[in-house]
Amino acid sequence: MADQFVVLKFEQGSFEEGFMLTLQVGLEGCRPSTEIAGSLPPAEHLRQHYQAWQSVYWQLGVPSRIEPVTDQVTNVSRLKDCLQAAAVLRRSMNDWLCVAVFRPIREKLLEQLSPCDRIRILLQTDDLQLQKLPWHTWDLLERYPLTEIALAAPTYANPPLRSHSPGDVRILAILGNSNGIDVSADQALLEQLPNAHIYFLDEPNRHQLNEQLWEQRWDILFFAGHSCSQGATSGTLCLNAEERLEIEDLRYALKKAVGKGLQLAILNSCDGLGLGRALADLQIPQLIVMREPVPDAVAQEFLKYFLQSYAKGTALYLAMREARERLQGLEQTYPCATWLPVICQNPAVVPPTWLELSSQVQADAPIALPTTQAATSRSRPSRRRQSCLSVLQVSLLMTVLVLAGRWVGWLQFPELWALDRLLQLRPLEAPDSRLLVITVSEAEIQAQKEDSRRSSLSDATLSQLLAKLAPAQPRVIGLDVYRDFPVRPDQPRLSKQLQETQGLVGVCKNLDTSSDPTGIAPPPEISMDRMGFSDFIADPDGVLRRQLLYLTPEPASPCKTPHAFSSLLAFHYLSHLKIQPTFTAQNQLKLGAVTLPTLRPHTGGYQTVDTHGIQIPLNYRALKSPQNIAPQVTLTQVLEEQIDPSRIKDRIVLIGVAASSSNDDWATPYGTGRKVPGVFIQAQMTSQLLSAALDQRPSLWAWPLWGDAIWVFCWSAVGGAWAWRWSISKPMAIAGIAIWGGLTGSCAVLLIQGLWLPLIPSILACLATILSVAYVRSLNYPARKELEP
């Protein structure tokens, strides 16, 4: 069972020209989920049928609560004529609502509504003749037993915020001129109400009524007595035998009463549509009036049935329908009694229940206490559930929209930017002492006497360097210097060193059709099993965040090795510790008991990058600069034996160029303006593999798509819940900052453990939900705390 809200808005037209209208359907408390336009053809005959029925009805001569007139004589012979005219009007109206041009509206209602739904229908128009039609006889509504139709003005505004404190329902009951009618019965019915404080004004003068409206707070305004409408937007209340009062005469007093919390006005008197329209202009939330002159007995029975049902906790609209339909038992004497009562509704307000007017339940309530408790206890939780459902629906929609944008790559750049910021927030780690980096500076390149234009290290210098390193017994030597040419004939020692030095690993480079169509061949003297490719993969913004472990070389590539240079350095080091690398069936690298997560399409923030080969996220060691990854010495220091051999023993020694002329500088998450020489990137990559295998240092990994979706949805729902609770206010702004800080802090803390969470999608979904929910709440229910989850 759902609470549905339907609006039929007549935007322009007349019975002579036809009408243009709009249908809106949605859940109670939410923006419309469906809206379509429609039309109705001219229906001059329908207005004529109404006038014919009204003429017969007014000539019945039944004593009523219309402004007192003389010579009222009941004419029983006209009862049959009245019923016949009513049947013609009802049939004519239903034929009009079945025409082809109106069929889309009818079919949309049948599609959107269920017979078990509670439905409020508003007929929004300023055409008085349309308002007077018996809309409750529309045959479509017979399918929906929990439906009632009300009238609404085409323009409206939220009433002032209600100032309410718990207590009895406060009712100001005006018993006006009772010439020829019995208003004492109305008084007796009001006095039986539970949880009610009633103040009676018996035939008051204008000053007395004005004072009560100004000085006191009232929840319900009740009038019983004679009245009549004067035109479409005005009417007269007969306060006493001498004094008649128009609504305009109480404009300021009534506005004051609305500001203090007046929720409902019941005019149990005749011909009230003009009165209702005048009161609606004052933004009174709900009014109950009588369309036509109402017999005294009908007015009393309606009031009895309505108050009994409403005070038991029944929703106002359903209590109205029940009371109206029970009047059918009087129609043998008072024809069309069920046509008379009608609600005039401010569309910006949800009608309150009796419990919501009092905000408490009295244990000694004289009218069906068990039923009251059951009904009212269901009312508030159902509203809360509906509010929660609305927030969850908005959160789900925002999550879907954000993740859809993420899937197509719109959020890739901001997500990578956010990852960089989170990486910079991590606590500092110590350099990796298992590595030693030997740098070759620009001055050292220029100082080499032998021609070194083909390489940063001449043959003689490289031979001397390897000779200095060998006695210190490094575990692995990584030569991150390109040598795509053979050793000079006059350097036979170097050729032998390259072939026989244990743990020596060289580099080559694969061809790249976009940037390097030729590639770089490996040194001829180093066997392929000791050769690794040096290729890096930069992200679209130029930053290195990924590590390539393995790829299948192109047939035309001069570099035939499938393993990355950094991978071979780590593998050779770990082999001395009896740890052999393997690849799982899912192409994941396994080092001992540790399996490294592989990048696949739509992993984390990566949505549109090429994940060829085997790639993993590069989890830089948290340092002030990526160049601090390991101890460093210069080429000159090693050649001049200024380095303690213990700093070399059992380490991975990387030899690389740190000169700017090498064009081997790369941007990292620590700032694109501080590029890092490639040898330090190789050291970072090697350290990542060693730390994962030996230190259980976490690698970067991300949840699958469904995990990210749940995370984003949860934060979106948190934002929506706060927006519904606080609306646009200082507390909500503080809560928003707290949510933002909590989300960022959670992502930063979990990133230390390697988990890369969707920060930017969560922020966007949360912000979009906050704005959407706050906007809907401010439009519909700015002051209804009972709808807060």
What are the domain boundaries of the chain?
A: 3-142, 169-370, 391-408+703-787, 417-694
Between CA 193 and CA 358 the distance in angstroms is: 12
pLDDT at residue number 161: 60
Q: Mean pLDDT for the chain?
A: 87
Domain 169-370 classification at class level: alpha beta
pLDDT at residue number 787: 35
Q: Is the pLDDT of residue 165 over 80?
A: no
According to DSSP, residue 77 is labeled G
Confidence of residue 784 (pLDDT cuts 50, 70, 90): very low
- Following DSSP, what letter does each residue of 398-436 receive, concatenated? HHHHHHHHHHTTTTHHHHHHHHHHHHHTSPP----TTEE
Confidence of residue 226 (pLDDT cuts 50, 70, 90): confident
Taking residues 709-723, what's their average pLDDT? 91
pLDDT at residue number 705: 93
Identify whether the C-beta of residue 777 lies closer than 8 Å to the C-beta of residue 728: no
pLDDT at residue number 391: 85
Between CA 681 and CA 535 the distance in angstroms is: 11
Q: Is the pLDDT of residue 32 over 70?
A: yes
| b/e code 341-368 from CB counts within 10 Å (16+ = b) | bbbbbbbbbbbbbbbbbbeebeeebeeb
Confidence of residue 453 (pLDDT cuts 50, 70, 90): low
Predicted TM-score (pTM) of this structure: 0.55
Overall size of the chain counted in residues: 789
φ, ψ at 40 (rounded to 5°): -130, 140
Percent of the chain's residues with pLDDT above 70: 89
Residues of the chain by 3-state class (helix, strand, coil), percent to 5 = 45, 20, 35
Candidates 511, 465, 513; CA nearest to 491 is 465
Alpha-carbon radius of gyration of the chain:
42
* Rounded alpha-carbon distances, angstroms, from residue 303 to 296, 308, 338, 366: 11, 8, 13, 17
Confidence of residue 369 (pLDDT cuts 50, 70, 90): very low
| b/e code 38-57 from CB counts within 10 Å (16+ = b) | bebeebeebbebbebbbebb
Confidence of residue 524 (pLDDT cuts 50, 70, 90): very high
Q: pLDDT for 642-675, tens place per residue?
A: 999 999 999 999 999 998 777 889 999 998 778 9
Q: pLDDT for 230-277, tens place per residue?
A: 665 677 888 888 888 888 888 899 989 988 889 999 998 877 788 777
Q: pLDDT for 552-598, tens place per residue?
A: 998 899 999 999 999 999 999 999 999 999 988 888 999 989 999 99
pLDDT at residue number 673: 73
pLDDT at residue number 451: 55
φ, ψ at 77 (rounded to 5°): -65, -20
Between CA 261 and CA 640 the distance in angstroms is: 93
Confidence of residue 533 (pLDDT cuts 50, 70, 90): very high
Contacts of 67 (CB under 8 A, 6+ apart): 226, 227, 228, 236, 238, 244, 270
Taking residues 341-350, what's their average pLDDT? 92
Between CA 581 and CA 549 the distance in angstroms is: 12
Confidence of residue 62 (pLDDT cuts 50, 70, 90): low
Q: Is the pLDDT of residue 454 over 90?
A: no
pLDDT at residue number 455: 79
Taking residues 204-222, what's their average pLDDT? 91
